[in-house]
Amino acid sequence: MALENLISINFTEEELTALDGHLSEIRNILEGKTINLTPDKRQQYGRIANQNKLIVDKAKNYMEQHPTWIPNFLDKEEFDRDYVARKQIEDRVQLLENLAQQLLDTKTLLDHDNYTNSLTFYRMVRFLAGENEPGAKTVYEDMKVLFKKATPTTDTQDSTE
């Protein structure tokens, strides 16, 4: 019985070259404009939650309506630049996250297909080794070590059996 193939795709060399070129262009545009925080710093600053976005939006709106209420030590021009840049970045992050998830999901299905087919091949090689097919025992012995796992009751066990 044939195995179910969950996905079948391929990229031409031209498509991969174009994709890599566009990714390189994105990297070049972002160079010097983005920051890589350490995990500690990322935790320190956190992410602005939806409720806090509403606070920022409301404050911006009121600052526009009542500019005389803005403290002298608050740089409103910098606030506005940060506000616009954050929105510009957020829109692109959402798009990139969506694309990244599509790539990850596609890779997951490809990984599943490859692993399932590899197990089928291994089982056939194991069968052929038992039937003394020339060369099959060598391939089986080489692959068999990849399926060994330690268990509490035995030292090793073939996990495909």
pLDDT tens-digit series, residues 34-90: 999 999 999 999 888 889 999 999 999 999 999 999 999 999 999 999 999 999 999
Average pLDDT over residues 122-131: 97
Select from 128, 147, 114, 158 the least CA-distant residue to 8. 114
Do 134 and 146 contact (CB within 8 A), yes or no? no
pLDDT tens-digit series, residues 15-35: 999 999 999 999 999 999 999
Give the domain ranges of the chain.
38-147
Do 63 and 79 contact (CB within 8 A), yes or no? yes
* Separation CA 30–CA 34 (nearest Å): 6
Select from 95, 84, 87, 81 the least CA-distant residue to 26. 95
Q: Structure tokens of 29?
A: 């545009």
